Every structure is written in C-alpha cells, then in structure tokens.
Amino acid sequence: MKVLVTGVTGQLGFDVARVLKEKNVEVFAANRNDFSLTDYRKAQEVMRKFKPDVIIHAAAYTAVDKAEEEKELAFKVNGEGTRNLAKIAKELDSKFVYISTDYVFPGEGDNFYATTDKTAPLNVYGASKLMGEEAVREILEKYFIVRISWVFGVNGKNFVKTMLRLGKEREELRVVSDQVGSPTYTYDLAKLLSNMITTTKYGIYHATNEGVCSWAEFAEEIFKLSNIKTKIIPIVSEEYPTPAKRPKNSRLDKISLDENGFNRLPHWKDALKRYLEEIEL
Ligand SMILES: NC(=O)c1ccc[n+]([C@@H]2O[C@H](COP(=O)([O-])OP(=O)(O)OC[C@H]3O[C@@H](n4cnc5c(N)ncnc54)[C@H](OP(=O)(O)O)[C@@H]3O)[C@@H](O)[C@H]2O)c1
C-alpha cells in the first residue's frame, strides 16, 4: 500500500507518517515544498507520479484567530485546497482521509454531537474546514472524514506545550472553564488512521481521545503530571476574549467507531501521560 500524507511538518501529519513508516508502509511525506495545497497542477504532478492508494490530508490552515482577518486565505487553503486534492484522489481512484474539526459545530447544549448532527460553524476557520468536508463529500465516495479536537503532538505548538511554558513563568494562570471537549493525541489518532485506511468502512467519524474536560481541567492535569505548582484560576470565555468565537460544547460522540469495529482512542489522561513522557525524552 502506498500512502501520501500532507502536512508532515505539522503535528498530526508528522505522527501519521511516523506510524505508517513503523508499519513498513510506503509513505510519501509531503510538505509545502513538494506542493502547496492551492497549487492544483503541482499537486497533480506529484500524485500522478507517486500513485497513492491512500491520501491522508492532514495539512490545513490552522491559525484559528488569524483566520478571522485572513478569511480568503483560510477558505483558499482549507476549502479549495481540499477540493484540489479530492479531485486528484478521484482521478487516481485513491482512498481519501480528510481531517476535520469540532469547530464545524456551533457547540450548543451539553449533548455529545453525532456525526450526522447539523453543522453550523461559529468562526471562519470552522467554516473553511466545513467547506473542505463538503468538497470531499461532493467529489468522492471512498472517503473518511475524521473530526478531531484539541490536538497535541510532539511536532508543533499546542496547548500542552504552552501550559508547560507558562507554568514555569507564572504563579497563577487564568484558564477558560466553560468550553468542554476532548483532547486528541496525534500518535493515538495516527494508529487509528493507519488501521482505518486498510478498510472500506468509509464515512464520517469522530475520533478524539476518550473522556471530556474543560481547558482548565486539562491544564490542571498537565500541571499535576508535571509537578508544576502554578494555581489555575477558572474563568469564563467572556473573560478571555479572542478574535474567533469558540464553541462551548465540543463533545463528540464516537458511535461510528464502535459501529464499524474500530477501537476508540484511550482516555485523554492516559494519552497526556504518555505524551509528557514522549516530549521529555
Ligand atoms: N490543532 C488542533 O487543535 C486541531 C483541532 C481540530 C482539527 N484539527 C485539524 O487537524 C489537522 C492537523 O492539525 P495540526 O494541528 O497537525 O496542524 P499544524 O500543526 O498547524 O500543521 C499544519 C500543516 O499544514 C501545512 N500547510 C498549511 N498550509 C499549507 C499549504 N497551503 N500547502 C501545503 N501545506 C500547508 C503546514 O505546513 P508548514 O509547516 O509549511 O506551514 C503544516 O505542515 C488539520 O486538518 C486541522 O484542521 C486541528
């Protein structure tokens, strides 16, 4: 099996390429120099040459707040860029994995969102990722859309690394406690994806680590496991205004994983513990 992975300089793409190589899968680890997502011809040229059986599209414009002022670019990369790759996957008859986000939902109430629930993004980034989903659904049949949230991986910036840095600098830290969701460890997700692509169980999935928490509870656990004494002061979202509005409820139900015989990811506390060990090495 030949797999082309986009975004390998990012958190998820890096781990997906790593896990596939560990499994001796032939991988084309594509970065921006191989092709930009917005350069259809170049992407087509590279893919026609490699002829992937599977494309795992982990690259994206991910600057959530900046996207509010760079709307055009976010839509170009996440919407049109994904459409480009989907068209190429169609031409080459490759399976396609599109990584999406909890931000496609409005985050109301406190129920777990089903894969079939109505989408209604609150911010530009979420709308641009939804545009990518729509292109995939429109063009392809052999696709997996995998929605994830609160990502942390060894390669790149994330909430865990930010907390570890701030924990060394501050005695107190105000962290939002009214946004609830589930962290996703890229290594655990990469293992699931490496399994998923060997099947034909196409469709939409939610695949975060198990368990839910608020950002404040996530920070508490990071500090507990790292023996950092900084005091967390829980605050509400209104006390921490950001350019992009965030959903308060990011609970995603994983029933589609169960129904299709895939193992759910381990609990986020277990994932966090392994991640902290990994980044300490
Ligand atoms: N981070 C989260 O909390 C989160 C939550 C939900 C869903 N997701 C989704 O999960 C996936 C992986 O996220 P991540 O955190 O691993 O992202 P990341 O660390 O920000 O990495 C993004 C990757 O996309 C590449 N990229 C961006 N624009 C590109 C372009 N025009 N052409 C080619 N490559 C481009 C980047 O390349 P450069 O290094 O060259 O810039 C980088 O490799 C994304 O689809 C994201 O939308 C993320």
Q: What is the DSSP letter of 210?
A: B
Give the model confidence (pLDDT) of 10-43 as tens digits.
999 999 999 999 999 999 999 999 999 999 999 9
pTM as predicted? 0.96
Name the residue of 8, 62, 75 to mutate for ligand 1: max ligand atoms within 8 A of Cβ: 62
Please state the atom number of ligand 1 nearest to the C-alpha of residue 12: 16
Residue 281 has pLDDT above 70, yes or no: no
Considering the domain boundaries, does residue 220 fall inside one? no
Considering the domain boundaries, does residue 236 fall inside one? no
pLDDT band at 110 (very low <50, low <70, confident <90, very high): very high
Residue partners of 15: CB distance under 8 A and separation at least 6: 153, 154, 155, 186, 187, 189, 190
The answer to whether the CB of 214 falls within 8 A of the CB of 43 is: no
Considering the domain boundaries, does residue 261 fall inside one? yes
Domain count, the chain: 1
State the Cα–Cα distance between residues 240 and 235, nearest whole angstrom. 8
Q: What pLDDT does residue 256 have?
A: 97
Give the model confidence (pLDDT) of 43-85 as tens digits.
999 999 999 999 999 999 999 999 999 999 999 999 999 999 9
Considering the domain boundaries, does residue 43 fall inside one? yes
Q: What range does the domain containing 136 cover?
A: 2-158+184-210+251-266
Give the model confidence (pLDDT) of 113-172 as tens digits.
999 999 999 999 999 999 999 999 999 999 999 999 999 999 999 999 999 999 999 999
Considering the domain boundaries, does residue 140 fall inside one? yes
Residue 258 has pLDDT above 90, yes or no: yes
Considering the domain boundaries, does residue 225 fall inside one? no
What are residue 63's DSSP bridge partners? none
Considering the domain boundaries, does residue 179 fall inside one? no
* Domain CATH number, residue 34: 3.40.50.720
Q: What pLDDT does residue 280 have?
A: 84
Please state the atom number of ligand 1 nearest to the C-alpha of residue 103: 6
